[in-house]
Structure 1
Amino acid sequence: MSKRKAPNKPTSTSTPPKKKNSQEPQHMQLDTIIPAVTQSVLATLKDMGVLKGTEESGQPTTSSSSLSPDQGTSQCQTPGNTDEGTTDCQPPVMPIPSRMPVQGGAIFDRMRLAESSSGSHSRGSDNTLTDVAQCLVTSSLSQASQNTYNRALSIYKSFVQTNKHIPDAMPITTQNYLFFIAYCHEKKMAASSVSTYISALTYVHKLIGLQDFASNFLVKKCLQGYNNCLKSPDKRLPITIEMLHKLLESVDKVCTGLFMKVMLKAMYLLAFHACLRIGEFTSNKGAPAIISYSDLTFKDFQNGLPTLMEVRISNFKHSKGRSVVIAITAKKENKLFCPVSNMWHYVSLRGPVDGPLFTFLDREPVTRSFFSTMLGRCLIFCGYDNKVYKGHSFRIGAASAAASLGKSESFIQEMGRWKSTAFKKYIRIQSFSV
């Protein structure tokens, strides 16, 4: 039987036309643009100190001795061990800052670089827009919060120095977050403080543009266990009306000089009747007090003396741009304990000069430490324990006094400018006689 031959294949040397690749021009452009942009960004990061050096290939160099075993790119956690499926394998790119970095500084530097390179606007206009954006971001964090976050960074730096196997580098890995929480537990730090420190570190990561692993399931559970095992009850007690009167009487015995006596009495009375946080009327670490002289208004004068005082409070905690005006009426039965007459006396000695409401004669603002020291002396003179009565005790006492008078919860919350129902823990009616 003859074998059937296979049909001959076409011998044409012509090749079928290739399918047109619509992406080819884009690839050619990307091949040209990407290296140039990469080199420009790396050079900028190096000038900013974010990268310590680069190899000829353009990749940032990282000393292997500064990495812990879990921080290499080849050893990552599986998605099941991290929150929302993220992997804890991003290598450190910069050291932990000692203080809060400029709000989004690196991003805004890149904004200026991109805008100046584009040539689409004038340089002056670009810088103005970038500066405005940076100023708005900076204003999102109050000075008090910045001070707290700086303390968090300082504590984490101490933790790194104590534990040599922990690298001084960001991003902080899940493992090192757990080490840090354990370190705080050994130091007997309050659970609420540690949660604040973790929030501060998270904020810095977001500020710099780094991935943060504080939302990891293990980190959350570690903080929850910390709170369960080491709860720190609020030991501060409220200053009652009776105590306030005794403190006012003690000022004349503890202080010297008319101006100092009048000023402290006005501070005690305003702190109580306006339910103030101590940081709202004193200066702390260079940060000015929130209440200024221009925020004070006297009204309804009778015989040359005011019977009503209004205090405007702005930029307080959780204010989000809104202001609150607190009206305080005069106590006609006893001028010694009247917040309006005492404030009127103080302002007449202080003079109509703008700036923080409470200042010394040299116009320097009254600091938190000075106020706390003088309050402690008055408490000791009256026979009270200055370990459980603090500057915040005026605020606790005001909330408790309002509750004892039958004021509604919404009234107390608005009076104290509380964002949530956290005010309820300040109400200690058992300390008052209703």
Structure 2
Amino acid sequence: MPPKRGQKSATTTTTKRRKAIQFTDVTQAAPLQLPPVEPPAQNEILNIDYDKLAATILKQSHAHNGLSLQPQEAPSVPAATSHSSETLPKSTADPQSSSVPGPSSQQPSAQQPSTQQLSAQQPSAQQPTSSVSSSTPVLGTLLDQVFAGSLPDSSSSQSSTDRSSKGPLNNLNPVCLKLLESSLSSSTSKAYRRSWNLLLTWNPHISLPMSVTDVCNFIGHLFLQNYSPSTIFSHISAISFMHKLCSIPDPTQAFVTKKILKGCQAVGSKRDTRLPITAPILQKLIVALEHTVSQYSLRLLLRALFLLAFHAFLRLGEITAKSMNAVNGVLQRSDITFKQENNLLEGVQIVMRDYKTNKHHVPIIISLQACPNSLYCPVQALYKYLALYKHSSGPLFQTMDGLPITYSVVTSHLKAAIQFIGLSPDQFKGHSFRIGAAKHAASLGFSDNVIQKLGRWNSDAFKHYIRIQSFHI
């Protein structure tokens, strides 16, 4: 008999009761669900009955049909341990400790990857990469290897992994390393190393590859320090060289970097205030030495040095040492050979081995002819100086005690002589000899190409033998 209106069916009530019972069974089992496994860093050990937990997981799998864990995939449960969270405080528990094994470090969650899985998926921070190390000491070592001629030689005893992890240059064979060291002149290598020293002084934490921002800010720093645009270009070229050598992107070629360099050239260009030491000025300087230098031997040295620097287009750095470490880089006594015939001094031959633009390490020979009738003949002055000092080795210009004449000593005596003849020392420097020689050669009708060869301003125009007729002044 159907139920009356408003009366619920018994079958319906029974069905709902069954569903409620099923729901009640599930909810009663819910508190036994696997709690989220905290990371090992929290050092917590859980006291869990794993047999009961496994049975609950299987029961929920059949009830919901959504859990991926199958009975045969259930992890093995380790033997019960006597340690628990009650006997070991949470703050001192260490799941990774070998003396206190904890279930949380051995039982990975079914829904959360284990710590070992995460470490396998994520690269280790200490794994070697193909880029250059970011630590400054490693960068300094690499700079010393490149610019001090101590590139690492890859030996057969080293594994390929060890060689590749130490730097981009370790896999080159000895022949390539030697060719690489010969690609730069010694002066350029020293200049590039000084540029990097300046950069690391500005930012000790700099590393390769440099960012465009760091390069631009370094340019701004140099500009504020009143560096000339040409000097800034030289420092930036050292940065460019290292990036290209390591086969990494060169930040100096970025658009913004080039524009900032162009701005330095437009805003910071300064007119060269150095004036040339012309032939008349040189004559006055030689006479002034009689009054500004009391020691005869030193006066004879400075006379020969001034005349040779003018006639041979020499830089003071090529004949005077700026430090004791640069003694071997200046003109040596063994590089000077006099030519005589019938007891008459005809000329001198100078072998230039180390000079600024000698990128290919090819010596160049300069031959100066003597002017017997001139009071300012560089060959006669050099011969008299060497006849008095009598040294056969070491730097060409040195004191009676055998010490190399320094750059500072020569410039100080030059300044005194300049002041004595009434000129400004701020306008006449050591480089004024080369400037004056170029101007004097042009006044005698020498072409620009010949002047560049005589002064070694363009390495592509060098010739192995240069003959210079001494100027009649």
Q: Normalised by the size of structure 1, how large is the TM-score?
A: 0.67
**In the alignment, is residue 348 of structure 1 matched against residue 348 of structure 2?**
no
Residues 144 and 150 in structure 2, CA contact (< 8 A), matched pair in contact too: no
Aligned match of 1:323: 363
Equivalent residues in 2 for 1:11-410, closer than 5 Å: 58-60=124-126, 93-95=134-136, 97=140, 100-103=143-146, 109=152, 111-112=154-155, 114=156, 116-117=158-159, 133-160=176-203, 167-207=205-245, 210-285=248-323, 286-288=325-327, 289-301=329-341, 304-319=343-358, 320-335=360-375, 337-410=376-449
- SS at structure 1 position matched to 2:251: coil
Structure 2: any 5+ residue segments left out of the alignment?
Answer: 1-121, 161-169, 462-472
Aligned match of 2:84: none
Residues 145 and 152 in structure 2, CA contact (< 8 A), matched pair in contact too: no
Q: Distance between the aligned counterparts of 1:370 and 1:216, measured in 2?
A: 44
Aligned match of 2:91: none
Give the drift of 1:273.
0.3
Give the drift of 1:57.
5.5
Give the 3 Å change call, closer, same or farther, for CA 159–249 of structure 1 in structure 2. Answer: same
> C-alpha deviations, 1:135-169, integer Å up to 9, x for none?
553344334334422332233233326xxxxx433
> C-alpha deviations, 1:241-273, integer Å up to 9, x for none?
011011111112112322211111000000000
Give the drift of 1:100.
4.1
Residues 236 and 389 in structure 1, CA contact (< 8 A), matched pair in contact too: yes
> C-alpha deviations, 1:374-422, integer Å up to 9, x for none?
2111111121111111111000001100000111222212111121799
Give the 3 Å change call, closer, same or farther, for CA 284–208 of structure 1 in structure 2. Answer: farther
Give the drift of 1:317.
2.6
Q: Distance between the aligned counterparts of 2:148 and 2:196, measured in 1?
A: 17
Which range moved further: 245-254 or 202-211? 202-211
Residues 172 and 213 in structure 1, CA contact (< 8 A), matched pair in contact too: yes
Give the 3 Å change call, closer, same or farther, for CA 383–100 of structure 1 in structure 2. Answer: farther
Residues 99 and 154 in structure 1, CA contact (< 8 A), matched pair in contact too: no
> C-alpha deviations, 1:200-258, integer Å up to 9, x for none?
22233345565432111221121112111111221111000011011111112112322
> C-alpha deviations, 1:316-348, integer Å up to 9, x for none?
23332333222222223333x111111110111
Give the 3 Å change call, closer, same or farther, for CA 327–105 of structure 1 in structure 2. Answer: closer
Aligned match of 1:164: none
Give the drift of 1:301.
3.5
Runs of 4+ more than 6 Å apart: 104-107
Residues 104 and 134 in structure 1, CA contact (< 8 A), matched pair in contact too: no
Aligned match of 1:26: none
Structure 1: any 5+ residue segments left out of the alignment?
Answer: 1-55, 63-72, 74-89, 119-126, 162-166, 423-433
Residues 333 and 395 in structure 2, CA contact (< 8 A), matched pair in contact too: yes
> C-alpha deviations, 1:4-57, integer Å up to 9, x for none?
xxxxxxxxxxxxxxxxxxxxxxxxxxxxxxxxxxxxxxxxxxxxxxxxxxxx95
Equivalent AA in structure 2 for residue 290 of structure 1? V
Residues 100 and 149 in structure 1, CA contact (< 8 A), matched pair in contact too: no
Give the 3 Å change call, closer, same or farther, for CA 196–253 of structure 1 in structure 2. Answer: same
- SS at structure 2 position matched to 1:237: coil
- SS at structure 2 position matched to 1:312: strand
Aligned match of 2:43: none
- SS at structure 1 position matched to 2:451: helix
Give the 3 Å change call, closer, same or farther, for CA 238–115 of structure 1 in structure 2. Answer: farther
Q: Distance between the aligned counterparts of 2:396 and 2:149, measured in 1?
A: 38
- SS at structure 1 position matched to 2:367: strand
Q: Distance between the aligned counterparts of 1:402 and 1:346, measured in 2?
A: 26
Residues 240 and 252 in structure 2, CA contact (< 8 A), matched pair in contact too: yes
Corresponding pairs, count: 326
Give the 3 Å change call, closer, same or farther, for CA 94–407 of structure 1 in structure 2. Answer: same
- SS at structure 2 position matched to 1:287: helix
Q: Distance between the aligned counterparts of 1:410 and 1:254, measured in 2?
A: 38
Residues 276 and 394 in structure 1, CA contact (< 8 A), matched pair in contact too: yes
Equivalent AA in structure 2 for residue 321 of structure 1? H
Q: Distance between the aligned counterparts of 1:300 and 1:347, measured in 2?
A: 15
Aligned match of 2:101: none
- SS at structure 2 position matched to 1:322: coil
Give the 3 Å change call, closer, same or farther, for CA 283–207 of structure 1 in structure 2. Answer: farther
Q: Normalised by the size of structure 2, how large is the TM-score?
A: 0.62
